[in-house]
Structures are given as C-alpha cells and as structure tokens.
Structure 1
Amino acid sequence: MTLGSQIAWDDTVLPFQLDRSDIRGRIARLDGTLDQVLAQYDYPPMIEALVAEMCLLTALIGQTIDLRWKLSLQVRGDGPARLIATDYYGPDAEGSPARIRAYASFDEDRLADVPPFELIGKGYFAILIDQGQGMTPYQGITPIAGGSLSSCAETYFAQSEQLPTRFALSYGRSQAPGRPEHWRAGGVMLQHMPKASPFAKTDGGTAEDGLLAPTDMLDGDEEENWTRANLLLDTVEELELIGPSVQPTDLLVRLFHEESPRVYDPQLVCFGCSCSADRVRESLSIYSDKDIAHMTTDDGIVTADCQFCGAHYEFQPETLGFEAEERRRAAD
C-alpha cells in the first residue's frame, strides 16, 4: 500500500519503517476494541486508564512478533492495582483480525486520588510469549520503573531484549457531535532494528536503579539517528495520536517525512476471548473426584467464570476431572 491509501483506521495497527534511521515502528488506533474491553467490567476511572494504556502497548508489541498463538503482558504490584493483564492473539488466517482481551484486579478500598501508575506500587512488568502446543513458552521480567506503563515496557526492551524502544500514547473518553461518549486511544512505537551481531551490555545502565536506557546501547550514527527520531516524535500532539481527523499515514508523513518512511499492510484488531467450555474442562482435568466435590455448589453443579470476558460456565461434577475421563475410557 502507499502513503496515500485511504482505509478505515479505527482498530488497526500500521507497521512502518524509517529507512534513513534504521528504525521500525507501529501506529495503533484502538476505538471500538477498547470500548468492548472496558465494557466487560465497571472499572473505576483510574483502573480504566491503566487497562487502556496496557491494551495499547499490547497491540503495538503484539504486531511486531511473528506470533502463532498468544502474547501476554502482565503488571503485578503491591499497591491497590494488584494486576493488569492483557492477551494478544495473532490472526487465525490472513486478513483476519488479531484479538485483544484484558483484565484488572484491584483493591477498591485502597484506591486513592493519585496518578493511576502510582496505584501499582512496587512489582514487576512481564512479557510472555506462548507459540502453542509443543513450543516452550518465553517469559521476560523487569521491575516496575519510570512513571508509566510505557516506561516499564521501554525498560523491558532495553533490559531484556537490548532493543532501544520508545512509546508515545494517548487515550481517553471522547464524544463526537450526535454520538455517545466512547473511548479513543492511539499510540506510536519506535524500535531500533536489531544489530547484525548480538549486543550485550553487562555493566549498569543510566536509567532508574541502574537499568539500561536506549542510548546505553547505541553510539555514533546510530545514537544520532535514534535521538533525531525521538525528537521528531516529541512533537506529536495527543489529538494526532487518537484521531479521528488525522490518519496514521498523514501523521507518519508529518512526523518523519525526512526519514524516508515506508509503510506495510495494516493489521486489524478486535476484542476477543479464547475461553470455552472445553478449555475449562481441560483445566479441571488434573483434579480428582474428591477435589471436584469440594468445587461443587449446593445446587450440585460446578461453575466457572472467565475473568476476561465474564462468560459463565456450568458443569455436572461427575463429568469433570481425571477420574471421570478414566471412567469414560473404561466405558468405551
């Protein structure tokens, strides 16, 4: 596609590359998708903000990975916001959308009128990649650092992947004339292309608590190119990020026209959950009849609720667990 192409940009991620700077990037817009994610629970506004930021990061990062199944982002802390978790499922087929779901666990009694990020406290930021059956999952963890979830993600890529990375995000409720209030969110991700030979920095970095910063991994022309691209990104305005009046291609040209931007096919994104009755049965297959009995309600059923989409499942206890499976096999 070309920079002049006209497509619907809501709920898309647009990959691009800055040929002059050897930098790749993504521009994301989450609109109806974010509305659906947040509609699953009645979160307080400060928790909604954390979930919105996490969803944007997930969409941007997920599109950079050759993903066969699932990318997960998690933030766990000792503050009132105990857990923010998101999943990104790669497209099932060419042309299909990627799917995002999210969930937050929090202590409502401890919530305070402070910036949302301060509600997390001390903890860690984790990225998990699961390529499906037969593949060993990958997990990378870095401590909570900086003043936002975006800063945590930048620290993760610097510390765990040694890839200079930058995010610029904006999100919030919007109301167009004649339309109900809804969520709009958008962001830009910049990432320096991996070097031909692996770079390994073992001593301390210049970021918070001695962690690595992007410029710790670059020098010479690479550092100059990275600094220039970041200065250009610093000029972006919040309304440019979230749209809808500014198309991502127009924003890309406005910000980086001297960096020789090149765009690729956009990826559609939607809300989606992978839960099912079969998956619940599988998760309960490790339990004995005695264990299943402890899970059985007074009404004589076993229930399960999906924390991501709220789906409710009910089962007859005699059909669950490994002993039930053994009985079925014996009967066959």
Structure 2
Amino acid sequence: MTLAQKIAWDDTVLPFQLDNCDVRGRVARLDGVLEGILQQHNYPAQVEALIAEMALLTALIGQTISLRWKLQLQVQTKGAVRMIATDYYAPTEEGEPARIRAYASFDGDRLTDEVPFAQLGEGYFAIMIDQGEGTTPYQGITPIAGDSLTSCAEAYFAQSEQLPTRFKLSFGQSTEAGSAEHWRAGGIMLQHMPKASPHAKGGGSGEGGLLQAADLVEGEDGENWGRANVLLDTAEELELIGPSVAPSELLYRLFHEEQPRIFDTQPVRFGCTCSEDRVRQSLSIYSARDIAHMTTEEGRVTADCQFCGRHYDLDPATLGFEADGNDD
C-alpha cells in the first residue's frame, strides 16, 4: 500500500447498490475531516468520540440525499453533553467535495468515566434538511434511544422516514507508524429501497414503542434485508477503519453474492461557511444601543465561530441597522 492509495481512500463516501436484495448503501472513511473538526477545540475524549460518530453518520446520510444545500444532524440532551451539531454541505459544482463541520456544547463538571453515550441524557435526535433560498426546511425528530448515536439514527429512519436502515461504524484514535495519533472513522450504511411499508402504523418493537427496521419489512423483502444485515455483521473493525482494505474491496468481500454495483466516489472535506459578511448580517437586526452592550472595553465587537474557531474583530460603528456604512 502506498501513501497515495491511503489518501485516495480517506475522506470519501462510496455509494453502492446490492441488486439482488433491493438494498442501497454507502461506505465512508474519515480522517482529515475529523482532524479539521477536532483540532479547533480541546474536547475531552468522550466528547471527541461522540463527535466522530456523529460526523461519520452525517457523511453517510448526507450522501444519500439529493441535497442542494445543507443537511444538519443535531442532538439536544439534558446530560453532560448538551448539544452536538453537524452540518453537511452539498458540493457546489460537479466533482467538488462535500463539506462537513461539527461542534459540541458540554458541561465538563458533569462528565463521567462511563462510555461516551452515557454522557447524553434525555433528549432528542434530529435531522434537518435545508435546500436553500425559496424552500421550506424539513425537520424530523426522534427521542434519544438505544445505546449509541448510531441506534438513534436507525430509529429516526424507521420512525420518521419508515425506511429500514442499518449502520455499522468504527471510530477511534489511530496509532499508525510514522504518524501522530489522530482520530479515524469508517463505516457502512445499508438502506432498503423505498417501498410501501406493511407495518408503518401503530407501535413498533423498539424502545418506547419506536419502529425498528424489522417492523418495516416482511416476506421476501424481510429475507433480503435480513441476509444483507447478516453479511454486514461479518465486517471487522479494522476493515471499516483501517488503511489496508479499499472500500470497493470490502464491499465485494461482504456482498459479492448480492451483485454489488458501485458508483462514483464523493470526496468530503472539513469546511466552514462562516464569514465576516455573515457575522455582520446576523448583527444587522440590532440597534445601536444593543451593539453598545456587545462592545468590549477596547471598543470592539468580537465573535468566535463555534464550528471552526475563527475570531472576528469588528468596529461597532459599522454594525447594526442604525450604523453608518454598515453596507461597507
């Protein structure tokens, strides 16, 4: 394996379809994306693990949607980790990478030595799709359930979209020879092709009566879905996350009897949409008196992007709807 090969596999999402069982899916590998997200903050290890899982889910889900602008995954809880937000921006041009950014809000005094998911409390998991100007954003919400963010995402698709969906993910600190320790993540998403669901009404078999994938398929569809999941379960952690097996090779090893069809790879990168113009626009609703309350002793208005950490230092005389020259 060469370094060039490894780079080609990292920070990509590979779409595929299993023609023998009416299942579509994605394989994702994240490396530099996580580095870009996590190096902006000094997160505790439990929080980093949750962000890595959430970013990987975001990469997989974002690529399944005919997205023109932005997908956001968000978790809000009453636990030590109060919020996790990830954004996936669709490519602006053919062949361009998609962009991902993420951040978390947490109470460090409430973090424990338990597993990362235990740092969340009662709350909800949400997926929001914004197709841009002139459209109405869509939002779907399900309760925090199961034992991972992955199980929350599976419950969301079963409950809100009535699409049988399964994820198998791996993420952790990489200790490859010759490189500094850093986070890597990899995973596979399976999703049954959309069909009328026989069990869409009434309570499901999941936690709190939530629908699960198994509640949505029966007969031949159920057999096909079950077979694809059994094959997925044979994927080993190092195959998902390690640099030795290319995503296409992994697909053929797992699903060669299901006639896998592979499509064009989508590159993903860390990227933030913040800018001075956006900061000014967000402050344009405030009066001169409001701006004065935001002004520091040094006579400046400052703002920091929660996603990328960029610092903005602005002249208060140019801010707000009463400012002179606020269009400069």
TM-score clears 0.5: yes
TM-score interval for Structure 1 and Structure 2 normalised by the shorter chain: over 0.9
Question: What residue identity is the alignment partner of 1:32?
Answer: G
Match of 1:37 in 2: 37
Match of 1:127 in 2: 127
8 Å contact 2:167–2:189 — kept in the other structure?
yes
Cα gap change, 1:6 to 1:37, in 2 (>3 Å): closer
Match of 1:224 in 2: 223
Question: Residues 128-147 of structure 1 correspond to what in structure 2 (within 5 A)?
Answer: 128-147=128-147
8 Å contact 1:12–1:30 — kept in the other structure?
yes
Match of 1:93 in 2: 93
Say whether residues 1:204 and 2:203 are aligned partners. yes
SS at match of 1:8: helix
SS at match of 1:74: strand
Measure the CA separation in 2 of the matches of 1:131 and 1:46. 33
Cα gap change, 1:290 to 1:198, in 2 (>3 Å): farther
Question: What residue identity is the alignment partner of 2:137?
Answer: P
Measure the CA separation in 2 of the matches of 1:181 and 1:91. 30
Match of 1:75 in 2: 75
8 Å contact 2:198–2:217 — kept in the other structure?
no
How far is 1:6 from its partner?
Answer: 10
Question: What residue identity is the alignment partner of 2:171?
Answer: Y
For structure 2, list consecutive stretches of 5 or more residues without a partner in the other structure: none
How far is 1:180 from its partner?
Answer: 1.7
SS at match of 2:159: helix
Question: What residue identity is the alignment partner of 1:177?
Answer: A
Measure the CA separation in 2 of the matches of 1:60 and 1:328. 44
How far is 1:186 from its partner?
Answer: 0.1
Measure the CA separation in 1 of the matches of 2:197 and 2:7. 38
Measure the CA separation in 2 of the matches of 1:74 and 1:6. 30
8 Å contact 1:71–1:89 — kept in the other structure?
yes
8 Å contact 1:79–1:120 — kept in the other structure?
yes
Measure the CA separation in 2 of the matches of 1:69 and 1:178. 38
Q: Which runs of 4+ in 1 moved over 6 A?
A: none
For structure 1, list consecutive stretches of 5 or more residues without a partner in the other structure: none
Match of 1:243 in 2: 242
Measure the CA separation in 1 of the matches of 2:103 and 2:6. 34
Measure the CA separation in 1 of the matches of 2:117 and 2:325. 50
Say whether residues 1:60 and 2:69 are aligned partners. no
Say whether residues 1:267 and 2:266 are aligned partners. yes
Cα gap change, 1:105 to 1:7, in 2 (>3 Å): closer
Measure the CA separation in 2 of the matches of 1:151 and 1:165. 10
Aligned length: 324
8 Å contact 1:89–1:98 — kept in the other structure?
yes
Measure the CA separation in 2 of the matches of 1:84 and 1:303. 24
How far is 1:174 from its partner?
Answer: 1.1
How far is 1:200 from its partner?
Answer: 7.2
Match of 1:173 in 2: 173
How far is 1:314 from its partner?
Answer: 1.2
8 Å contact 2:129–2:137 — kept in the other structure?
yes
Report percent identity of matched pairs: 69
Question: What residue identity is the alignment partner of 2:201?
Answer: T
SS at match of 2:94: coil
1:128-153 CA-partner distances (Å, limit 9, x unpaired): 11111111111111000000000000
Say whether residues 1:110 and 2:113 are aligned partners. no
8 Å contact 1:162–1:200 — kept in the other structure?
no
Match of 1:285 in 2: 284
Measure the CA separation in 2 of the matches of 1:7 and 1:293. 49
SS at match of 1:59: helix
Q: Root-mean-square deviation (CA), in Å?
A: 1.8
Measure the CA separation in 2 of the matches of 1:179 and 1:203. 52
8 Å contact 2:288–2:320 — kept in the other structure?
yes
How far is 1:243 from its partner?
Answer: 2.1
Cα gap change, 1:119 to 1:7, in 2 (>3 Å): closer
Measure the CA separation in 2 of the matches of 1:44 and 1:133. 37
